[in-house]
Chains A and B, each alone.
Chain A
Amino acid sequence: MRRASLVAGIVFLVFSLTVMVASWSMEYYSSIGPGPGFFPFWLSLALGLLSIAWIVQILRSAPKSGNKSGKGEEEERFLPRGTAFFRLLSIVAALCFMIILMEPLGFQLSMFAFMIFLLVILGRVKILTTLIIAAGSSFGLFQVFTMLLDVQLPHAAIPFLASIGL
């Protein structure tokens, strides 16, 4: 946990430095007062200083007493392991695929696949229930949102799929 916090602190520091550098290229001050770069500069400076303060806080807090340095088994793990980590990662990955596939395949097909994956692999839901819920939240919601609520969800970009209404 301590090491992860340190990494996070450094990420914050690097982020604030990047913003600061980027804000230099914007107009800092103009004839009528502060320019677009004024706020970002001071904010990133403050964020940088705070990140340093946090890093110092972490460094000063003593590592777990009486522990051989390194990852003792009693040390709180930052990320879960095993199946828990698999579940976490697969939700993120499934969302990534959903985002990539939404335009070429359209909302309905990509959402159908997304739901099947979540329900079968992660939820271990029975196959019939899965099919009903997946169809409802893809084809069903598509109809509800486009017809009733006037929210336009994407059609497939692939002409064949679009021609059959997907």
Chain B
Amino acid sequence: MDALQDLLMGFSVALAPGNLLYAFLGSAFGTLIGVLPGIGPAAGTALLIPLTARLDPTGAIIMLTAIFYGTQYGGTITSILLNVPGEAASAITCIDGHKMALKGRAGAALSIAAIGSFIGGLFATIALVFLAGPLTKLALEFGPVEFFALMILGISLMMGLAGKSMVKALMMGILGLLLAMVGMDPVRGAPRFTFGKMELMDGLNFVPVIMGLFGLSDILENAEESLDSTKSAEVGSLIPSREEVKDSVGPIARGSIMGTILGLIPGMTGSMASFLSYSTEKKISKHPERFGEGAVEGVAGPETANNAHANGALIPLFTLGIPASPTVAVLMGAFLMNGLIPGPFLFRENPQLVWGVIASFFIGNVILLILNLPLVGVWVKMLKIPYSILFAVILAFMVIGAYGVENSVFDVFIMLLFGVLGYLFKKFDFPMAPMILTLILGPTMERSLRRSMEMSQGDFSILFASPIAAGLLIASLIVFVTSALRVFLGTRKKATSGSGSDRK
């Protein structure tokens, strides 16, 4: 087996002491970000990018990916103990997880969640190992035309899933593309929208933009409420009962598969994976009435699914170079900052790095299991820090993070600007995920389209000349039209059935 040989080579890279340390640091930071309510995975990963700037690329990517999947573990802790999701994908765990905590089974819930997360993460990583070969082989057949079509499909899936706010999702997607235009154009090198500022010649730096949109905007939103701290439930015994283990086997198995598959599809977020798992478990359960009253299945399924999703979402990034969610887009940005272009060529040109990182997922998941089970008490202590102190410390780190990417005060200003914008976008219910995706994909997209156009000397029919590209574009069109129709028919129905407004 080629894949297994590559993986073994990867382990030899990942097990080097330095890389082990980065995997550990990444897992710990990830859990911390997951635990702290003030900061989500996208902003958290972006925040720590400056820390990795001086590392070698392999170490940097190992650490950043560990931060990403580590947040999924940490988010559970607050959901169960405080009834406050540490990040969105764990929100559904609050329902049954916190009920279990109130019944004194918090420890068992945490154990099941950590074990489920571990199995889900492992399952998705194994899928990555075996899908890497075939998918990259396919992707190597792709030219600029096909890549352009693939990116269009990814983006339209994301928009299509935005549901009734499709107009807004489209607006945000285009806004992201326009922001990606700032700086020198990727083909000719002509400056665009730089307002004569040297700082903008290389384009908007995505780290401060994301920290503003996802991090600062959260802090501003929280500032509206008074800064009170919350009370935590007691952890209790960590060992689940035999009954609880038996009830969790099915949900964990189903969650692993569901999460991995959803991770492959652009636009599907971790929250969707955990939500889908929860509703499936409830539907097939013999005792659906137990859900909402502290059913362990309602913890096991979703927590497995969101972790399988996190690791699964790395499959399209690694093999095709397509980020499936905002946080993965941040990771893609980190690759690009290190001079690496994720996708099929990376496997060929830099197999050491790619397989080293993949092997580190196995190690990272083991570290996370340890960090989250025996050491759960440490994180619970973190929860005692009142938000009135936390928000100031997070702000301090954000200022350093934004400054540290390019050593420029201008970037701190960019963070502030996008923080205020993000706050306003939230108020208007504008989804920010499409904007981040297009902001990071923008330059690649423009380059591949313009290169295709050069190949055909400006003839647009080249986009449909290759069967793969034509197929992908037609698929995007179908996604688009069906979701637009659904929205349109939906509003029609509402309009005829009486009350016109569908907004609060």
List the interface of chain A (C-beta within 8 A of B).
Answer: 1, 4-5, 8, 12, 19, 22, 26-27, 29-30, 32-36, 38-40, 43-44, 46-47, 50-51, 53-54, 57, 60-62, 64-65, 76, 78-80, 83-84, 87-88, 91-92, 95-96, 98-99, 102-103, 107, 111, 114-115, 118-119, 122-125, 129, 133, 137-138, 141, 145, 149-154
Q: Which residue of B lies closest to A63 (CB)?
A: B501
Q: In the complex, A26→B407 CA distance in Å?
A: 31
Q: In the complex, A54→B185 CA distance in Å?
A: 30
A54 touches B458 (CB 8 A): no
Contact A51 B171, CB 8 Å, known A62-B500, A96-B416: yes
List 18 A–B pairs whose Cβ atoms lie within 8 Å, in order of A's numbering. A19-B193, A22-B193, A30-B188, A33-B454, A34-B458, A38-B450, A46-B170, A46-B174, A65-B499, A78-B427, A87-B224, A95-B412, A99-B409, A125-B389, A133-B393, A141-B400, A145-B400, A151-B50
Q: In the complex, A27→B404 CA distance in Å?
A: 35
List the interface of chain B (C-beta within 8 A of A).
Answer: 50-51, 53-54, 167-168, 170-171, 174-175, 177-178, 181, 185, 187-188, 190, 192-193, 219-220, 223-227, 386, 388-389, 391-393, 395-397, 399-400, 403-404, 407, 409, 412-413, 416, 419-420, 423-424, 427-428, 446, 449-450, 453-454, 457-458, 499-504
Which of A35, A44, A124, A133 touches B178 (beta carbons < 8 Å)? A44
Q: Which residue of B lies closest to A30 (CB)?
A: B188
Q: In the complex, A136→B423 CA distance in Å?
A: 29
Q: In the complex, A65→B504 CA distance in Å?
A: 12
Which of B177, B427, B454 touches A43 (beta carbons < 8 Å)? B177
Which of A4, A46, A50, A118 touches B392 (beta carbons < 8 Å)? A118
Contact A133 B225, CB 8 Å, known A36-B188, A62-B500, A153-B403: no
Residues from chain B with Cβ under 8 Å of A84 in the complex: 223-225
Q: How far is the CB of B94 from chain A (nearest CB, A)?
A: 25
Q: How far is the CB of B188 from chain A (nearest CB, A)?
A: 6
Contact A152 B407, CB 8 Å, known A47-B171, A118-B391: yes
Residues from chain B with Cβ under 8 Å of A107 in the complex: 403
B168 touches A123 (CB 8 A): no
A114 touches B500 (CB 8 A): no
A57 touches B178 (CB 8 A): no
Which of A61, A88, A137 touches B224 (beta carbons < 8 Å)? A88
Q: In the complex, A145→B403 CA distance in Å?
A: 12
Q: Which residue of A lies closest to B459 (CB)?
A: A33
Main secondary structure of the interface of A (DSSP, over half): helix
B389 touches A129 (CB 8 A): yes
A26 touches B393 (CB 8 A): no
A91 touches B395 (CB 8 A): yes
Q: In the complex, A94→B390 CA distance in Å?
A: 16
B500 touches A61 (CB 8 A): yes
Q: Which residue of B lies closest to A152 (CB)?
A: B407
B396 touches A50 (CB 8 A): no
Q: In the complex, A125→B385 CA distance in Å?
A: 12
B177 touches A54 (CB 8 A): no
A123 touches B188 (CB 8 A): no
Contact A149 B181, CB 8 Å, known A26-B190, A33-B450: no
Q: Which residue of B lies closest to A51 (CB)?
A: B171
Q: How far is the CB of B67 from chain A (nearest CB, A)?
A: 16
A47 touches B454 (CB 8 A): no
Q: In the complex, A106→B424 CA distance in Å?
A: 31
Given A12-B171, A102-B412, A154-B403: 10 more A-B contacts, CB < 8 Å: A4-B427, A8-B428, A54-B167, A57-B167, A84-B224, A95-B416, A123-B386, A125-B386, A133-B393, A137-B392
Residues from chain B with Cβ under 8 Å of A51 in the complex: 171
